[in-house]
Amino acid sequence: MGPVAREMHRRLIQALSPTRIELTDDSEKHRGHGGYNPAGESHFSLLIESPAFAGQSRVQRQRLVHNALGDLLHERVHALSIKASAPGE
């Protein structure tokens, strides 16, 4: 896990206290595409389960993730695929 992924992981744990989190760097799958960074850590997939998502719509859940990651999404990460759920879903 590179420095960007570690920081993303840290922020998500701090903000959302997930019961499950899987963050995958998919950057190599996007070689030659827009936003690709040869250094990696530009495209990610996130699978996250958190009690914070209970009763929230898909858009609200994504907003919580985006808020937790803040400037990383604007300055370093080109794309983030999010699958967010509450425990028991």
Q: What is the CATH number of the domain that holds 65?
A: 3.30.300.90
Full domain range(s) for residue 56: 3-16+23-85
Residue 62's pLDDT is 98
> Quick one: what percent of the chain has pLDDT higher than 70?
85
Q: How many folded domains does the chain comprise?
A: 1
| Arithmetic mean of pLDDT, 22-51 | 79
| Digit-coded pLDDT (tens) for 27-37 | 866 566 666 55
Sign of CA dihedral 64, 86, 50, 22: negative
**Amino acid at site 48:** I
Q: Which phi and psi (to 5°) does residue 60 adopt? A: -65, -40
Two tokens at 24? 């995958």
